[in-house]
Structure 1
Amino acid sequence: MEQRRQVFSVDLLERYAAKGRGDITCMAAGNDVIVLGTSKGWVIRHDFGVGDSFDIDLSAGRPGEQSIHRVFVDPGGSHCIATVVGNGTSDTFYTHAKWTKPRVLSKLKASTREVILGTDNGQLHEIAVDEKDKKEKYIKFLFELSELPESFTGLQMETASINNGTRYYVMAVTPHPVFILLQELALRSSPNGDENFVENKALLDYSKLGEGASVVNRISEQIVEELYFDQTPDAVSRGVIGLCSDASAGLFYAYDQSSIFQVSVNDEGRDMWKVYLDLKEYAAALANCRDALQRDQVYLVQDIMMQAEDAFNTKDFLRAASFYAKDALRTFLLRKLDNLAKDDKCQITMISTWATELYLDKMNRLLLEDDTGSENSSLDYQSIIKEFRAFLSDSKDVLDEATTIKLLESYGRVDELVFFASLKEQHEIVVHHYIQLGEAKKALLVLQKPNVPIDLQYKFAPDLIMLDAYETVESWMTRKDLNPRKLIPAMMRYSSELHAK
């Protein structure tokens, strides 16, 4: 079992990306363009599409220390808006990819639309400002972090139009740890804000980014991978400070105070069928399956659960326990095999052998149930045989040959024994089986394969010529490597048997 490539990987994209203009404070991306804001008031534009960069000093002409608070880039990567703060004041600038000087957006110093404010003590307020009077039209309390008051350090709001108004979805972030506050707000402006209300609050606790980041599956809410970043020694103390995405290029980035990292995604949906299967959402699991084997596993688990529940409902508790225990164990072992590294050879062989025995037990149990004439039992039986053969095909190189053959023999699974012998190129077992069944043509086809030892031709010649003399001789005549002298005993035996009759 080969260890699969991780879904997410991290690569260093640009070391010392701030170019000595201070520490990185914020970042945005669009169309292979990354724009950085620094602690010294500089905006640095990296265009990875054409391979150049330039920087603009937004602190020029402003007294005291200045820092870039936020930068925004359009999806095309041409337009940039940046806010610089310092000495209790702030200004917002606009710059274009072709400009050498920024332009101050003075009209953004007032707003007549709804604004969400986060406070130092963990409160959210809605506010609207009258542009003419430069006064608040109203301010309305929305939410408070009562259990763990912390300052809100970032807010993101999205809107959605519905029949009776506009919905506002707000994400608020606090520093230690990072909290994500998902709120669905229905805001309808009025002079006193009486019609505003909040519904469907949910508070989720996430780990601090630090030296790495945890990748969480949004469906299962489980951590699936850990990401680690190659940081410089002076950046380790602060850790990774932010993430952003380039929607146009489909890329994801992380950054610390000096470096930019690219986070690559490799087939992130490949295991979603397992996630939904664990949640018992079988329709969603089937929709995310990539091949027949995955679908068979979903059908199997779904069928097992139904049979177990039926047995439980009829108070056949022993039978229900049998379904739950053995089939759940087999499913667990198969999942375990998927996650083992190819170097764990002993463990892979042991678990594969265990799973083989559980498959054999399942087939025999279904075979006994099939005596009742139930159509469902027959379909289940055929399905598990198909799944088991697929498992043998996948595991033929890790299963111990002798042990597996003994297991198949002990359970009386002759057809599966022949199937496994064919996979392992144990041609003698296969030919012997076909001769026992009187299937001379099938036995001859096996012997005609180029990798079959020629000695088997002579060993089985007496039996084959007695079963079907014509087909056997025809098969011999197609071979140029046979020694006729070694076939004489078989022909003499056939002749004597023929005369004896």
Structure 2
Amino acid sequence: MTSLLDQYEQASQRYKGTVATAIRPEMSTTGFIHMKLEEETPIFSKQKVNFSPTERITHLAVSSDLLILTMANSMLLRIDLKQPDNREEIDLSKFTTHLKILELFLDPLGQHLIISLTPKNPDNPPEILYLPRKSNKPKQPGKFKGYEVTAVGWNYRNDYETTTGPILLGTSKGLIFETEILPEGDRIFQSGLEQYWKQVFDIGKGDNTPITGIEFHRVPGSEKYFVLVTTPDRVYQFIGYVSNSDEKPLLQQVFNNYLTVAEAFQEIPSSLKYSKLQFLYHSPKGLPRIFAWLTEPGIFYAQVGLGRTFTQIKNWIRPVRRLSLTNNQLLQYPSSSLAPLSFVLTEFHALLLYPDHVRGISMLNHELVFEDYYNESFGKLVSITKDPIKGTIWAFAERAVFRYKVTHEERNVWQVYVEKGEFELAKKYCRDNPAHVDQVLVKQAEMYFNNKQYEQSALHYAETQSSFEEIALKFLQVWEIEALKTFLIKKLEGFKSQDKTQVTMIVVWVIELFLNQLGVLRDKGEVNSSQYSILQKQLDSFLTHKEVKECVMNNKSTIYDLMSSHGDKHNLIRLTIMNKDFERVIRHHINKNNYLEALDVLKGQNKKELFYQFTPALVQAIPKQTIQALIAQGRTLSPNKLLPALVTCDDDQAGEVIRYLEFCIHSLGCQQQAIHNYLLSLYAKLKPDKLMQYLAMQGQDSTMVCYDIHYALRLCRELGLSEACVQLSALLGLWEVAVDLALTVNVDLAKQTANMPQNDTELRKKLWLKIVKFSAQSNTALLCQGLPQLEHRIMASFCKILEADYRER
């Protein structure tokens, strides 16, 4: 046998859902292609239940997958939707002789059904029937005879099949009763179905105002309860605490608060004889999230919240002990439409039922998104309802039952939130679709830009796939450099390591912007201003980013040239130090003739190569400071490697060079011949007196001196330093030459030189003979007095010979 739900008919439907097109076509997002591979499934689709009623359907209720409907022949059909083929038929005709069914009220569990009966003529009192799920025999609670029940407030916290728990019943005269109904087999010492029964409030105060909806809830974790009650033109709220949950009636304690204080309500004028109360829940057992009330002007709805501080709602009378209903709005019906017969809420839409069609309206922007016209063969539409537990939606006409399927109704919600400016909610409902998220960000960035919140705009533009050049141009056109920097820096964070070209372009551009801003402030003399300090810190922070450091290292020349062109010496030095590129810093200072700064940088580094490289330039420009820096380095530097730099110095710097060479020889004990030769040459040229001291210090042992004796002799001959030549000639063993040269200076020097060969008596005699001959024309006694203390016999003999030789002449 074919299942009751296996077959269905697709009726005439018109889907007006918002198409997910680009929100801003003139700024399309690059990288995303909008293309549909197949027709999009409508949000709302209708399925006709494979059921042909024998009579006109009058009422339908559904909860927890239990569907109950009644027909004009007073036949009640009960269907378990999990086993739709097993239908139960219950005849109510014996109760409807003088009465007719007014409404069906099914509890959330689907375990308890209350059937409200209204008289066909005024002579008969109204009644109610109670039908538990496990029974097919309706019972008549006697205490409700005479009261026309128009609304039932079920106990959502009740989990028992054997009792309804405390429930509220509203009547056509504005009375509110509390009762608890138990099946017949579960009653103890009770003559009726009611465990208890009591009137707890009178809304109409004797005006016979019909109650059209009633619902109550307990706030989790507390003893606080709230009750909402609707009439055709008012919605009331009651809120209070129940101090004793065992005391019955339970909610009498809440209503007692309003015996002396007028209840809070909101009124919407209406000529309708009916209204409808609906709620939308986070979860079946939780508190309602959305409250909605059908009235003649439209559907009044608001978000339901309970907090320690209650929000004051506009137009509520006596705003005390109030339930928090925020973001309250009135959803007006489409133009030229009358009030619907009924409605249900979905997550983002309201489905309105009219006699011949159903309309879907967005609760977010109040636009019509769906229309479904029914075939006349089904008769007029009667009502629409929703399973409060399962969430399924059912509509029924006089001759058919339909079920609505809701498919991804949140698909275009993001666009609605975008148009309302609620961008965070829009992102939430983009369902991780990058193309949609991108459009939301573009729209959000535009909003900030139009509001002149350029920094925020830049941050959001950077997260989009919009044209880089176009966004940059937007900020340049309004000359928002800070926003442009923000955009570029934020954009930089989104690049990958392989995007080297884009990274380089942005890094260079951002540095250029910073340098330009700093340069303007320097030109104004505002280097010490807080603005300059902030910019400098921002630049320093930017340069520490990993991707920026890598880019700068790979493009050092470009960045350094950029900083040099702006004359930003401070940042150039900082950057080169950061990159440990001290050679470039020193060279920059030297090129700018800032020799002292260059020397300071050089002294701060422990790199010998840099000293060898830049000493030639520095020693000529600032010889005293440079030599002092070299001396401070001590043994770290090799004097031999510095020699090429030292030899280029002219006579003006020679004094400092001599100071360094003397330091090398005397303090460092340097014995390198080149160093000694250069010092000797400087002495010979500039300080002859120090030359003789130096030669004396080096001694007369040719194997122990550190300088080149032949080079020294040649140099001294060229400079005419006879005394030095005497000493050097003697050092080479050229004694006769040395004495002859000494005699040209003075006899004393010749005498000293002649006495130097200690171990060769004959040589000394020969040398002295040269001296005697040279001095023959001088007084012999005077000459003899100057002779050294030689052996007496040699001296006596030598004097006789000299005296004889003198007479012969």
Shorter-chain TM-score: what band? 0.5 to 0.7
Is 2:139 the partner of 1:139?
A: no
* Aligned twin of 2:216: 158
Separation in 1, partners of 2:394, 2:493: 45
Is 2:275 the partner of 1:216?
A: no
* Aligned twin of 1:11: 47
Separation in 2, partners of 1:45, 1:118: 27
CA shift for structure 1 position 213? 1.7
Paired residues of 1:39 and 1:67 also in contact (CA < 8 A): no
Question: Per the alignment, do residues 269 and 58 of structure 1 end up closer, same or farther by CA in structure 2, a change over 3 Å counting?
Answer: same
Paired residues of 2:169 and 2:176 also in contact (CA < 8 A): yes
Separation in 2, partners of 1:232, 1:307: 57
Question: Per the alignment, do residues 115 and 81 of structure 1 end up closer, same or farther by CA in structure 2, a change over 3 Å counting?
Answer: closer
Question: Per the alignment, do residues 77 and 85 of structure 1 end up closer, same or farther by CA in structure 2, a change over 3 Å counting?
Answer: same
Which residue type is aligned with residue 73 of structure 1? L
Separation in 1, partners of 2:359, 2:490: 40
Question: Per the alignment, do residues 151 and 171 of structure 1 end up closer, same or farther by CA in structure 2, a change over 3 Å counting?
Answer: closer
Aligned partner of 1:269 among 410, 413, 430: 410
> Match of 2:101, SS?
strand
Aligned partner of 1:195 among 246, 261, 275: 261
Aligned partner of 2:488 among 378, 390, 404: 378
- What are the superposed Cα offsets for residues 179-231 of structure 1, whole Å, 9 maximum, x if unpaired? 8x654344843499332412455665144212112212223333222233345
* Aligned twin of 1:102: 138
- What are the superposed Cα offsets for residues 415-438 of structure 1, whole Å, 9 maximum, x if unpaired? xxxxxxxxxxxxxxxxxxxxxxxx
Q: TM-score, normalising length from structure 1?
A: 0.53
Larger relative contact order (CA 8 Å, sep ≥ 6): 1
* Aligned twin of 2:757: none
Separation in 1, partners of 2:453, 2:134: 73
* Aligned twin of 2:92: 58
Paired residues of 1:11 and 1:261 also in contact (CA < 8 A): yes
Question: Per the alignment, do residues 383 and 129 of structure 1 end up closer, same or farther by CA in structure 2, a change over 3 Å counting?
Answer: closer
Paired residues of 2:215 and 2:229 also in contact (CA < 8 A): yes
Which residue type is aligned with residue 413 of structure 2? M
Paired residues of 2:211 and 2:230 also in contact (CA < 8 A): no
CA shift for structure 1 position 272? 1.9
Identical amino acids, percent of aligned pairs? 18
* Aligned twin of 1:447: none
Question: Per the alignment, do residues 152 and 15 of structure 1 end up closer, same or farther by CA in structure 2, a change over 3 Å counting?
Answer: farther
Paired residues of 2:47 and 2:402 also in contact (CA < 8 A): yes
Paired residues of 1:274 and 1:285 also in contact (CA < 8 A): yes
- The number of residues matched between the two structures is 323
* Aligned twin of 1:310: 452
Paired residues of 1:118 and 1:155 also in contact (CA < 8 A): no
Paired residues of 1:37 and 1:70 also in contact (CA < 8 A): no
* Aligned twin of 1:443: none
Separation in 2, partners of 1:266, 1:113: 35
Which residue type is aligned with residue 79 of structure 2? H
Paired residues of 1:42 and 1:68 also in contact (CA < 8 A): no
Which residue type is aligned with residue 91 of structure 2? D
Q: Give the stretch that moved more between structures: 364-373 or 7-16.
A: 364-373
> Match of 2:94, SS?
coil
CA shift for structure 1 position 254? 0.5
* Aligned twin of 1:243: 384
Separation in 2, partners of 1:105, 1:185: 27
Separation in 1, partners of 2:400, 2:418: 40
Separation in 1, partners of 2:171, 2:109: 29
* Aligned twin of 1:396: none
Question: Per the alignment, do residues 32 and 116 of structure 1 end up closer, same or farther by CA in structure 2, a change over 3 Å counting?
Answer: closer
Separation in 2, partners of 1:283, 1:194: 45
CA shift for structure 1 position 244? 1.3
Paired residues of 1:9 and 1:227 also in contact (CA < 8 A): no
* Aligned twin of 1:446: none
- The 5 A counterparts of 1:57-456 are 57-60=91-94, 63-64=97-98, 66-87=99-120, 88-109=124-145, 116-117=170-171, 125=174, 127=176, 139-141=202-204, 154-161=212-219, 166-172=225-231, 182-186=235-239, 188-190=254-256, 193-201=259-267, 204-205=297-298, 206=333, 207-208=339-340, 209-232=354-377, 235=379, 239-290=380-431, 291-310=433-452, 362-363=470-471, 365-366=473-474, 372=481, 374-378=484-488
Paired residues of 1:16 and 1:259 also in contact (CA < 8 A): yes
Separation in 1, partners of 2:265, 2:398: 37
Separation in 1, partners of 2:258, 2:388: 39
> Match of 1:60, SS?
helix
Question: Per the alignment, do residues 292 and 70 of structure 1 end up closer, same or farther by CA in structure 2, a change over 3 Å counting?
Answer: same
CA shift for structure 1 position 7? 0.7
> Match of 2:399, SS?
coil
CA shift for structure 1 position 101? 2.5
Question: Per the alignment, do residues 16 and 85 of structure 1 end up closer, same or farther by CA in structure 2, a change over 3 Å counting?
Answer: farther
Separation in 2, partners of 1:359, 1:47: 58
Question: Per the alignment, do residues 265 and 129 of structure 1 end up closer, same or farther by CA in structure 2, a change over 3 Å counting?
Answer: closer
> Match of 2:441, SS?
helix
- What are the superposed Cα offsets for residues 110-156 of structure 1, whole Å, 9 maximum, x if unpaired? 8998764556xxxxx4556999xx99786344899xxxxx9968424
CA shift for structure 1 position 4? 2.0
CA shift for structure 1 position 35? 0.3
Question: Per the alignment, do residues 140 and 5 of structure 1 end up closer, same or farther by CA in structure 2, a change over 3 Å counting?
Answer: closer
Paired residues of 1:229 and 1:261 also in contact (CA < 8 A): no
Give the strand-richer structure, 1 or 2.
1
Is 2:72 the partner of 1:39?
A: yes
Question: Per the alignment, do residues 152 and 274 of structure 1 end up closer, same or farther by CA in structure 2, a change over 3 Å counting?
Answer: farther
CA shift for structure 1 position 278? 1.4
CA shift for structure 1 position 105? 2.5
> Match of 1:103, SS?
coil
* Aligned twin of 1:416: none
* Aligned twin of 1:30: 63
Separation in 2, partners of 1:372, 1:94: 76
RMSD: 4.7
Question: Per the alignment, do residues 171 and 127 of structure 1 end up closer, same or farther by CA in structure 2, a change over 3 Å counting?
Answer: closer
> Match of 1:284, SS?
helix
Paired residues of 1:366 and 1:380 also in contact (CA < 8 A): no
CA shift for structure 1 position 161? 4.2
CA shift for structure 1 position 306? 1.0
CA shift for structure 1 position 253? 0.3
Paired residues of 2:355 and 2:381 also in contact (CA < 8 A): yes
Q: Gaps (5+ residues) in structure 2?
A: 1-34, 150-165, 180-193, 241-253, 269-294, 299-332, 334-338, 341-353, 497-809
> Match of 1:274, SS?
helix
Separation in 2, partners of 1:382, 1:143: 73
Paired residues of 1:142 and 1:198 also in contact (CA < 8 A): no
> Match of 2:202, SS?
strand
Q: Gaps (5+ residues) in structure 1?
A: 120-124, 145-149, 313-319, 332-355, 387-501
Q: TM-score, normalising length from structure 2?
A: 0.34
